[in-house]
Copies of this chain bind each other. A is one copy, B any other.
Amino acid sequence: MLRVSKLTDYAVVVLSRLEAEGGVQTAPGLASATGLGEPTVAKVLKMLAQAGLVEGLRGARGGYRLTRPLAQLPLSEVIVAIDGPIALTACVDGGFGLCEAEHVCPVRGRWDPVNAAIRGALSAITVAEIAAPKGLVPTLPPPVPVLVAE
């Protein structure tokens, strides 16, 4: 656990491609460019558009466009857009203790500082940093298939 969803991973890839190419690009185009499934890419784009990280242009000749350069886009925003609010535990955030069974629920940990620390760490990293440091490297040289220790 403590994972982000695959969609978030895809989002970074798509955003990276979006910036590398520049301009307006269609969902099918991005799908073939990234090698991901077309419906999946469309889903990711829709989520990013709802969050305002990309702009969707409808109609023929439509597509998606970045609203910000990736260097100004903290990773935390992408995660929030795809995975929802960053809260490590279920019953926190707002913290009125309104669990279903508040009087029974013994989990009175203060996870808020933890959440804040995670948010801080994730806000300090931009998508540009993890997308592709210097240009895209679509394929690595095939490594020697050594025996992988399980």
Identical chains in the assembly: 2
Our pick among B13, B96, B118 for the contact of A121 (Cβ within 8 Å) is B118
Our pick among B13, B107, B140 for the contact of A109 (Cβ within 8 Å) is B13
A59 at the interface (CB under 8 A from B): no
Which residue of A88, A104, A133 has the most chain B CB atoms within 10 A of its CB atom?
Answer: A88
A51 at the interface (CB under 8 A from B): no
A124 at the interface (CB under 8 A from B): yes
Interface residues as binary, A125-150 with B (CB distance below 8 Å gives 1, 0 otherwise): 10001111100111110110000100
Segment of A3-11, A42-50, A61-69 engaged in the interface with chain B: A3-11
A58 at the interface (CB under 8 A from B): no
How far, in Å, is A48 (CB) from chain B's closest CB?
15
What would be 10 A-B contacts, judged by CB atoms less than 8 Å apart? A1-B3, A2-B88, A6-B89, A13-B107, A35-B106, A97-B140, A98-B143, A110-B133, A111-B130, A121-B121
